[in-house]
């Protein structure tokens, strides 16, 4: 048996404890255990973590070379104890304790749903998802992965859609460095075991995103596969889910996306997806956000295990219907990509991408970015990461700042309006006029309040204060050009 280790997850497992574990960070305990047989399928390990009267259970996992680990995210600062349970005596009844320290600056905790249609961090800070997509960035090798991380450091994105499994698709046919299962030279996967090196690498990338404040929207299955991962036996699917949850759930920035384009995975049925949701829901001690992303067919996001809708689509007229139907946050996280490739989904202009962000925002949903510019080495951001070439990210940064300046309880679309508008009535209104260019317009805001009016140009990234204070019903002169927004804020 090895010593109890309370370590940050990025440290090698053999390193001794390094002081208290910050709230919402990863505590990890490692144990020597059996190497005989197949530990991945034969050995059960879980731990009960206690804080005063509360007990939280977390599954452990086999990390290879006789080492077993249990990871845990303390959600409260203070003294925690734990005790293990296993079907193998060497791993059963191990106990220990650790101290969880208050969160440091920049650690706001995990994100959950707030105010029905929005998100917030555990510390109360609102979270406005402004996501991007690099499906296979974590399978590109260190050099390119480091470049992607460097790009993300100054990019406006606070969420990343990314696949756990490697991806095989147009512009993305390179072989990954790591495979999730042992794989022989003939291409045969040993689905009875996992490849810990694959997961250690992947976890490292998730953790690096966490350190940058980026949510990792982890896609558990997807159809773009030549290795066999979309077509595994059901018991392997389920074991893979439990193993992945055991390894990754403790990272506070993890979100679970059951699939990208679930309906394009022809090998699975709707009941498979329902089962996957339930497995993740049962296994994850923290109840991280759960979604599923469509190809052509929208999953019923009203099902109880779905925390928010993850939509591929660009019909923002459906936003209202979906918000009402699901009564959950709706993220249009794939509304086509800024780029210039021949595919329809990968060649919208930067202006159109920015327009979609604003249109979604003004309809009460969130929007996701992606970029697909032709590259001589086929390094397209949407799949491999690398660097950004487009003109939309800086405008998305501008919008993100506006969102972060909006009311903490989130904005909701006003019904029966001529132009899209989200508001917190009596306090804040954000209109977007899209292709319309009224030179003047009558507004009718909640009475008894004086507002200041800002005319916002989403592309030029300007905010121009309109002179005067506004109240009730009034007519305001507008720029008379397309693609303008206007914000009313209560004067203080």
What is the binding site for a copy of itself (CB under 8 A)? 339-344, 347-349, 351-352, 373-374, 418-419, 435-442, 480-482
Question: Is residue 135 within 8 Å of residue 162, measured between CB atoms?
Answer: yes
Residue nearer to a copy of itself on the CB measure, 220 or 421: 421
CA–CA separation, 399 vs 266, rounded Å?
Answer: 38
Q: Which is nearer to a copy of itself, 195 or 340 (CB)?
A: 340
Smallest gap from residue 340 Cβ to a copy of itself (A): 4
How far apart CA 240 and CA 413 sit, in angstroms, is 40
Select 143 or 444, whichever has its Cβ closest to a copy of itself: 444
Q: For every residue of 163-179, which 3-state class applies, written as one string? A: ECCCCCECCECCCCCCC
- Residue 261 or 338: the one with the smaller Cβ distance to a copy of itself is 338
- Interatomic CA distance for residues 134 and 380, integer angstroms: 9
* Secondary structure element (H or E) that encloses residue 197, with its range: helix 196-211
- Residue nearer to a copy of itself on the CB measure, 178 or 443: 443
CB of 5 to a copy of itself, least distance (A): 52
Smallest separation (angstroms) from a copy of itself to the CB of 385: 20
CB nearer to a copy of itself: give 77 or 441: 441
- Least distance in Å: CB of 347 to a copy of itself? 5
- The b/e string for 253-283 (b: 16+ C-beta within 10 A; e otherwise) is bbbbbbbbbbbebeebeeebbbbbbebbbeb
Instruction: Record the tokens describing residue 91, joined without a space.
Output: 């791993």
Q: Which is nearer to a copy of itself, 58 or 350 (CB)?
A: 350
CB atoms near residue 105 (< 10 Å) = 5
Shortest distance in whole angstroms from residue 380 CB to a copy of itself: 12
Q: How is residue 135 written in tokens?
A: 């499906």
Spacing of C-alpha 118 from chain mean position: 14
Provide CB contacts within 8 A for 343, sequence distance 6+. Answer: 170, 372
Phi, psi of 388 (to 5 degrees): -95, 140
Closest approach of a copy of itself to the CB of residue 304, in Å? 34
User: Which tokens hold the place of 325?
Assistant: 């139907």
By beta-carbon proximity to a copy of itself, the closer residue of 154 and 317 is: 317
Report in angstroms how near the CB of residue 359 gets to a copy of itself at its nearest: 12
Q: CB nearer to a copy of itself: give 96 or 339.
A: 339
Q: Which CB atom, from 342 or from 448, has the smaller least distance to a copy of itself? A: 342
Q: Scanning the structure block, which residue is given the tokens 């009730």?
A: 472
201 alpha-carbon distance from chain centroid: 19
CB 220 within 8 A of CB 259: yes
Longest CA–CA span in the chain (Å) reads 78
Token pair belonging to 305: 């295990």
CA distances to 46, 151, 393, 405 from 156, rounded to whole Å, are: 38, 10, 6, 15
Give the count of beta carbons closer than 10 Å to the beta carbon of residue 54. 10
* In the complex, minimum distance from the CB of residue 174 to a copy of itself, in angstroms, rounded to a whole number: 21
| Cα–Cα separations (whole angstroms), residue 108 to 143, 172, 213, 288 | 30, 35, 9, 15
């Amino acid at each position: 048996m090895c010593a109890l280790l309370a370590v940050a997850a990025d440290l090698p497992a053999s390193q001794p404890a390094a002081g208290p574990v910050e709230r919402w960070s990863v505590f990890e305990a490692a144990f020597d255990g059996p190497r005989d047989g197949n530990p991945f399928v034969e050995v059960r390990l879980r731990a009960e973590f206690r804080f005063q009267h509360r007990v939280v259970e977390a599954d452990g996992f086999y990390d290879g070379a006789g080492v077993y680990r249990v990871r845990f995210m303390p959600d409260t600062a203070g003294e925690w104890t734990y005790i293990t349970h296993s079907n193998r005596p060497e791993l059963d009844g191990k106990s220990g304790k650790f101290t969880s320290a208050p969160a440091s600056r920049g650690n706001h905790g995990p994100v959950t749903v707030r105010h029905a249609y929005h998100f917030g961090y555990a510390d109360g800070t609102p979270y406005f998802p402004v996501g991007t997509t690099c499906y296979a960035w974590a399978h590109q090798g260190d050099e390119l992965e480091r470049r992607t991380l460097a790009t993300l450091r100054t990019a406006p994105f606070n969420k990343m859609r990314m696949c756990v499994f490697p991806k095989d698709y147009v512009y993305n046919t390179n072989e990954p460095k790591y495979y999730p299962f042992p794989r022989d030279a003939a291409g045969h996967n040993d689905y009875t075991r996992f490849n810990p090196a694959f997961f250690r690498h992947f976890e490292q990338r998730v953790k690096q995103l966490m350190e940058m404040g980026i949510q990792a929207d982890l896609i558990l299955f997807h159809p773009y596969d030549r290795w066999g991962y979309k077509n595994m036996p059901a018991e392997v699917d389920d074991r893979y889910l439990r193993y992945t949850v055991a390894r990754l759930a403790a990272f506070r920035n993890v979100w679970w996306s059951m699939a990208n384009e679930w309906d394009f995975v022809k090998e699975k049925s709707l009941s498979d997806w329902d089962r996957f949701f339930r497995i993740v829901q049962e296994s994850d001690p923290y109840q991280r956000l759960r979604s599923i992303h469509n190809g052509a067919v929208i999953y019923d996001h009203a099902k109880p295990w779905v925390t928010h809708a993850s939509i591929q689509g660009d019909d923002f007229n459906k936003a209202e219907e979906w918000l009402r139907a699901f009564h959950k946050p709706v993220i249009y996280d794939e509304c086509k990509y800024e780029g210039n490739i021949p595919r329809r989904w990968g060649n919208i202009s930067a202006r159109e991408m920015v327009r979609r962000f604003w249109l979604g925002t003004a309809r009460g949903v969130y929007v996701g970015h992606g970029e697909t510019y032709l590259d001589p080495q086929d390094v397209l951001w949407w799949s491999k990461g690398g660097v950004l070439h487009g003109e939309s990210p800086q405008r998305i940064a501008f919008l993100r700042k506006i969102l972060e300046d909006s009311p903490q309880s989130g904005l909701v679309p006003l019904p029966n309006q001529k132009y899209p508008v989200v508001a917190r009535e009596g306090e804040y209104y954000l209109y977007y006029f899209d292709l319309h260019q009224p030179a003047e317009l009558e507004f009718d805001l909640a009475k008894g309040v004086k507002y200041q009016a800002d005319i916002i140009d989403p592309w030029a990234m300007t905010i121009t204060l309109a002179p005067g204070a506004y109240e009730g019903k009034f007519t305001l002169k507008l720029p008379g050009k397309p693609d303008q927004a206007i914000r009313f804020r209560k004067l203080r």
